[in-house]
Each structure stands twice: as structure tokens, then as C-alpha cells.
Chains A and B, each alone.
Chain A
Amino acid sequence: MSLKSNLHILKEKYKGKKIAPVFNALHTFLYLPNDTTHNGTHIKAADDLKRTMNTVIIALIPCLIFGIFNAGYQHYLALGEIESAKGFLGASFWSLDNLILGAWTVLPLVVVSYGVGLAVEFLFAVIKGHEVEEGYLVTGMLVPLIVPIDIPLWMLAVAVVFGVVIGKEVFGGTGMNILNPALTIRAFLFFAYPTWMSGDKVWVHGAVERAGTADAISGETILGSYAQNSTVAYDYWDMFWGLIPGSVGETSKVLIILGALFLIFTKIGSWRIIVSTLIGALVMGLIFNTVVDAGWITETSKFYGLMSVPFWQHLIIGSILFGAVYMATDPVTASQTNKGKWIYGFLIGFISIMIRVFNPAYPEGVFLAILLMNVFAPTIDHYVIQGNVKRRMNRVKVKAA
């Protein structure tokens, strides 16, 4: 007997019991359910929630694979055991050693993220007696990609429990959340364990243990270097290809752009949000460049390093691109109206760069900006809709008059 029919039998057996959603979830995750609707309206659409989630995961997999190799690469590079790879296809990057070390460090993050998160989802489904929702599938993949490589696993587990329960379940589960759960998890980690989330020791595997010893290694992110007004050791192509230290999956801009094209092509991600976020970031960058050109900020200022970065470079340093493509476009927490999406995205980009430049304590402000705009998204929608109503009312009045 196949797994499918076994699951179906189990499902029938436990029908009406509290534990039923657990079997239902496994069944619908793996297969199309046996039972179909027999009356009422039939809507035929292939893009249900499960399909939507899986599409995003497919778009994330290149980032994950690259992140695995990059974890090993940054480690061995910092130890001085390999030469720096010249370009995306460099032989010292795609090596077996890098793969083994990267898999050894990154895959536990993925396992913990999914294991803990899905356990919480199953628990809530059983307690509340509703079906297990697919909402965690994407969050579980995003979380390992936006944390530093050496984050202790128990911290990740605590943060995932917090993010899923406080960020999502208390609001009523998937589709009802105000804040993006993956970013809630990151924000929790950032404020709870700041020493593990920023600085120059957390971005390269092994740097924390070696701190203070003779073999000490470090890997400062590019934003970190800029914030301290020190010189940056990477050229723009390294940043574009992603051969730089950073959170696990957000370094490779080229793969994120490919993922973005895939999401736009499949109509899962909103191109309006992606484009407007990037415009917002560019505008803020331009404003800062103008300020520097006008001579209001000199090299003695602590903001000089980041303010003088040419505006277009803001897109390839830090995680603004990753945030714009995978985080800001979350259909639940973003604005729903088309005009609202432009405003929402623009403000995310605008505020991200503002936090990045003005607050040296938070070298990466993208996650804060997106969380802030998540909160404002319903308000933006409200005013867009009210504005539309007003305009159409005026039209009616003109006609009547």
C-alpha cells in the first residue's frame, strides 16, 4: 500500500479527533487530497497557498546553496587557507571543502528553523482544532538565510518560538499576522542577543571561538566597515556576486535578482513593491550624496563613511535587495492596493537607507524599516481606498450637477 493511501486511512481513522490536523497536514503537503467538493461553486486554480509557498521556496533555494558554499569559503579565506575567488565561478569558491563545512554549519540552522517552527504550528493546530496552515514553509526557509552563520541553535529555537507565537499565532495564524514572522524572529534575536547579531565576529564561522587567541579571525561586513569610516576590502563585483561576509543567504545579489525575476514571472511577488523599494533606497542615497557634495558633512563626521557611498552602491551592500524581494513582498503584511504598494515600498527603501546611515548601532536597518511599514500597511491601504472613494463621489456629483 502506498504512503498516500496509508495517510488517507489514518486521516479517516482520526477524523474528528484532536490529533486529526497532524495527519491532514502531512497528507495535503505531500499529495492532492482524495476528497473533492461535490456541490456548490467549483473554483479551479492551481495557485493555492501551498503552491504559492513552494514557488517562493524554489526562488530561495539558489540563495541557500550559495550561502552554504559562502559559509565555507569565508571561513577558509579568513584562515588564509585558500585564495580569494576571482568572480562568481572562481575555483576556490565552488570547492568540496567549502560545501562540506557550509553544509555542516548551515543545514542545522535550516533543521532547527523548520523543526521548531512546524512543531509550534502543529501544536497550535491541535490545541485550536484547525487545520495546519502552510504559512511556516516560507518563513522556515527565510529564517536561516537572514541570521549570522554562528548563531547558537538554542537562540534560534527560542526566537522561532517567539516569532511564530507572538508574531503570528496570537493574531490568528497564517494570513492574519500584522508583522512578517521571519523578520519578527530576526528582530527578537537582534534585541535579545545583540553580541551574536552584529559586530565583526559573527559573520565568519569560527570567529567567535577564536576571538582573543593567536588564531583570531574576523570578517567585518561592508556596512560595518563603512560605519567605522574604514576602507572596504571588497570590490563591487565581489559584492554583486556575493563573495562577502554577511547573513547566510543575503550576500549574492545576482541570485537574488534571478529569484526576483522568477517571482515576478510567476506573479507571486509584486514587482511594484520591489521596484518602489529600490527607488526609495536610491532617492535616499541621492539625497545623502547631495548633502556630501554640498559640503555640509565633512570627513570628520561619523556619518561621512556611509553618506558618501555613491547612491547606486546602496543596493549591492547590505541586505536591501534581499529584503525588497523576499520580505517586503510578503502578500499578508504588505499593502494590498496597487497605489498603496508603491507608497509602502518607497518608504521601506527610504527608511532603510536612513537607518543605515544615521544609526551606527544598527548597521542594517532594512528589517526595522520593513517591520515599521508592515505596521503602517493597513493605514496606507485605508487612505488609498478612501481617496478613491472620494474621487468617485466627486465624479458622481459633477454628473448630477
Chain B
Amino acid sequence: MGLLSKKDGKLISDPLLDNNPITIQVLGICSALAITAQLKPSIVMAVSVIFVMGVGNVVISLMRNIIPSKIRIIAQLIVVATLVIIVDQVLKAFAYSLSKELSVFIGLIITNCIIMGRFEAFALANGPWRSFLDGIGNALGYGLILVVVGFFRELLGSGTLFGFKVMGDPVEKTGLFALGYENNGFMVLPPMALIVVGIIIWIQRSRNKALIED
């Protein structure tokens, strides 16, 4: 990355793979399981978290010297709640059906452990630019897993991608369905999201043995 120094570049690239918030730190699992049955909500969720984390990390970083450490959690909560409400209102205004579908989970971004974790661990101790990169990096790492899980769950569970019937029509028996293929109903259920995340963790750790901890 020519734009960033090597050290700053690592802030973005590390959380994508070797220090991914979902697969390595195992944070933010709840929302990852709940909204990944379709690809579109997964992407909207990922974008929302990128916004909240990027802006939130910068704000906390700017205020880091004036927040008394005794009430820092409350201050962080106020920042993240404000941002989440902005996201929620924007979604309600411009994508009402999606907002319905994501329901409570946009609001629950507030309690997403990744966000509070990065505020605590990074933004409170670093400048705004590096905090911004760290926030974007972690949110991208989170979003990446969401999109991968959402892709497989929608493709195998509903036979669609973004609502397009890529596998053919299950009712009129076209495409793959003409050959007797059927959608895997288990993929749409939350337990399968856990298993898909587990398989991603498995693949990742067997490719990079250094990640195996015991």
C-alpha cells in the first residue's frame, strides 16, 4: 500500500485475516449468526458496522484525553449509541424493508463486543488517523466473514444471491432444480451459521498453524 506506511497498513490488513475479530477473537458472533441467512442484510450490516466503527474510533480517539477513565464506558456507549441511531434512522428512511428485516440487530450493534473492544483497546491509546484505520480494518474483517457466511447460506439455503435465482426456480423446476436438486433448509437456520463460521475457523487455522492456541 503506497498510501499508508507499512505499520498503518497492518492496522487494516491484520484484522482481515490473522487477527480477524470473528474467527480469531470470536467476538460479535451473535449478529453474525442472526442476520447472515441472506446476502443483502449481511452487506448492509457490514457497511453499518464499518460506519459506526470508523467514525466511533475517531471520535473516541479525539476525546481520549478528556474522558475521565472512571466513566469511559458510559462515554463510549453514548458515542456508539448516537452513531447507531443515525444508521438506524437512515435505514428506516431509505431502505425500510431492509430495516424491518434487520429489526433489532441494527440496534444491537451498540452491544457488539468488537466495537467496545476496539474503543477500549485501541482508540483510547492512539491518534485519530490510526484509530480510524484500526476501526475500518476490524469492521472490514467482521464484514468479510459476514459476507462469506451470507453468501454460502443464501446460495445453498435459498438458491438465490441478492434475491436472484442463480440456481434456477425451485417451483418451476428450472436450472439445477430440474436435475432433482433441492435447497438445504438447514442452511437457513441459525445453527448452520455457527457451523459455517466453525468451518471457516477450521480452514483458517489449518492453513496457518501459528493461530492454533492451546
A interface vs B, CB < 8 Å? 152, 154-155, 158, 166, 170, 188, 191-196
By the criterion CB–CB under 8 Å, are B185 and A194 in contact? yes
CA distance A367 to B195 in the complex (A): 20
One digit per residue, 1 when the CB lies within 8 angstroms of any chain A CB and 0 when it does not, for chain B 93-128 equals: 000000000000000000000000000000000000
Cβ contact within 8 Å between A166 and B185:
no
CB closest chain-B residue, reference A195? B182
State the B residues within 8 Å of A (CB). 180-182, 184-187, 189, 195, 198, 202
Tell me, in angstroms, the Cα distance from A154 to B179 when the chains sit together.
Answer: 11
Closest Cβ of chain A: how far from B186's Cβ, in Å? 4
B179 (CB) vs chain A CBs: closest residue: A154
Complexed CA–CA distance, A271 and B198 (Å): 37
- Asked if A188 meets B186 with Cβ closer than 8 Å, knowing A166-B195, A170-B202, the reply is yes
- Which B residue's beta carbon lies closest to that of A166? B195
Contact B184 A192 (CB under 8 A): yes
CB contacts (< 8 Å) of B182 on chain A: these are: 152, 155, 193, 195-196
**B24 vs chain A, min Cβ distance (A):** 18
Question: B180 — which chain A residues lie within 8 A by C-beta?
Answer: 152, 154
Q: In the assembled complex, which residues on chain A have CB atoms less than 8 Å from the CB atom of B184?
A: 158, 192-193
Are A193 and B185 in contact, with the CB atoms below 8 A? yes
* Residues B185 and A192 in contact, CB atoms below 8 Å apart: yes
Residues of chain B with a CB closer than 8 A to A188's CB: 186
Asked whether A191 lies within 8 Å of B186 as measured between CB atoms, the reply is yes
In the bound complex, what is the Cα–Cα distance between A192 and B183 (angstroms)?
8
Looking at the assembled complex, report how far the CB atom of B74 sits from the nearest CB atom of chain A, in whole angstroms. Answer: 39
Whether B187 pairs with A192 at a CB distance below 8 angstroms is: yes
Residues of B within 8 A of A155 (CB): 182
State the CA gap A167–B182 with chains docked (Å).
22
Among A155, A166, A192, A194, the one with the most B-chain Cβ atoms within 10 Å of its Cβ is A192
How near does chain B come to A201, taking the closest CB pair, in angstroms? 14
Shortest distance from the beta carbon of A49 to any chain B beta carbon, whole Å: 26
Chain B: which residue is nearest A193 at the CB level? B182
Closest chain B residue to A189 by CB distance? B186
User: Are the CB atoms of A191 and B185 closer together than 8 Å?
Assistant: yes
Nearest-CB residue, chain B, relative to A194: B185
Q: How far is B202's CA from A152's CA once the two chains are assembled, in angstroms?
A: 29
Residues in chain B near residue A193, CB distance under 8 A: 182, 184-185
Chain B residue numbers with a CB within 8 Å of A170 are 198, 202
* Chain A residues within an 8 Å CB radius of B195: 166
11 A-B contacts (beta carbon < 8 Å) = A152-B180, A152-B182, A155-B182, A170-B198, A170-B202, A188-B186, A191-B189, A192-B184, A192-B187, A193-B184, A193-B185
Complex interface: chain B residues within 8 A of A152 (CB): 180, 182
Residues of A within 8 A of B186 (CB): 188, 191-192
- Bound complex: CA of A192 vs CA of B158, how far in Å? 11
In the complex, residue of chain A having the shortest beta-carbon distance to the beta carbon of B202: A170
List B contacts of A158 (CB < 8 A). 184
